[in-house]
Structure 1
Amino acid sequence: MLKARDIMTCNVITVTPHTTARELATLLLDNKISGAPVVDEAGKVLGVVTESDLIFQNKKVHLPTAVAILDAFFFLESPTKMGEELKKMAGAKVGDICSQQLISVSPETELEELATLMAEKKIHTLPVMDNDRLVGVIGKSDIIRTIARRE
């Protein structure tokens, strides 16, 4: 059974929270990757930023649905969520637009679990961590390449 260590990219391209959105776009295009781990000065992984985060910045603003009852407005959606979306859309740096809910895998994670995690959580880039140390990254292209080589 193939595991993360068998298909991961070991030469990981990372960005910092201070990387600009333009620099990120250029980095992703130049390296033909769909995302990158975000690391601090000490190399600790803080999150992941992807092409989807850049695309999100250019979407239309979605105003939350509200109902007016007796001169009062009740939001049917979370105003907090709208605030977070506006912050992300206006973000100029990776730290403003990246996903900070880190989902990572170990080198021993099996291929089927990787594919399931990516599909169910809509993840494009998975950092591979060994004892809190970044040792690789798996993108959707790594999964697709593995499928193509097996047949």
Structure 2
Amino acid sequence: MIIAEDIMETNVICLSPDTEIPKAVEILLKNHINGVPVVNDNNELVGILCQSDLIFQQKTMPIPPIFTILDSIIPLSSSKKLEDTLKKISAATVAQAMIQDPITVSADTPLSEIASLMVEKHFHTLPVVDGKKLVGIIGKEDVLKTLIQKE
């Protein structure tokens, strides 16, 4: 049975939470990767930054519909959701744009479970952790390579 440890990349490109967005974009494009783990000074995974998180910044800000009753303005969309959208669109650092507490796998996670996560959750990149420590990364290509290795 193939497990994460068999296919994961251990030489992982990482970002720190305070990396500026233009630098993060440059790293993703230069290395042709869809996502990159974000780690703290102890190499503990604190988030993941994906191309889609950066593309989100190009999204226009939706104007929330409002409802007026007796001179009171009542927003019809969640102010928390609006606040989160504003933060993501205006992100200057990785910490502001990354997904916090991403889904992870351990080194002994079976390939079938990894493939299911990627398909069902539309993940392109899965961090491999031992506790909180980042030990590797698995991308779509790592999973696809197993198809040509089988005889």
TM-score, normalisation: structure 1: 0.88
Residue 130 of structure 1 corresponds to which residue in structure 2?
Answer: 130
1:47-126 maps to which residues of 2 (within 5 A)?
47-126=47-126
How many residues align? The count is 151
The amino acid of 1:7's aligned partner reads I
Q: Give the direction of change, closer, same or farther, for the CA distance of 1:23–1:146 in structure 2 (3 Å limit).
A: same
Q: Deviations over 1:87-126 (max 9, x none)?
A: 0110011011000122110011111211221232332221
Quote how far apart the aligned CAs of 1:134 are: 1.3
Query: Are residues 86 and 148 of structure 1, via their aligned partners in 2, closer, same or farther at CA, if it must alter by over 3 Å?
Result: farther
2:134 maps to a residue whose letter is L
Q: Residues 63 and 132 (structure 1 numbering): CA distance in 2 closer, same or farther, change over 3 Å?
A: same
Per the alignment, residue 44 of structure 1 pairs with 44
Instruction: Calculate percent identity across the aligned residue pairs.
Output: 43
1:19 match: secondary structure: coil
Gaps of 5+ in 2: none
- Aligned residue for 2:144, secondary structure, equals helix
> Which range moved further: 58-67 or 27-36?
58-67
Structure 1: gaps (5+ residues):
none
For 1:105 and 1:88, the matched residues in 2 are separated by 26
Mapped to 2, the partners of 1:100 and 1:79 lie a distance apart of 20
Q: Indicate the residue corresponding to 1:2 in structure 2.
A: 2
Q: Which residue of 1 aligns with 2:24?
A: 24
2:14 matched to which residue of 1?
A: 14
Match of 1:2, SS?
Answer: coil
CA-atom RMSD in angstroms: 1.9
Shift of 1:71: 4.1
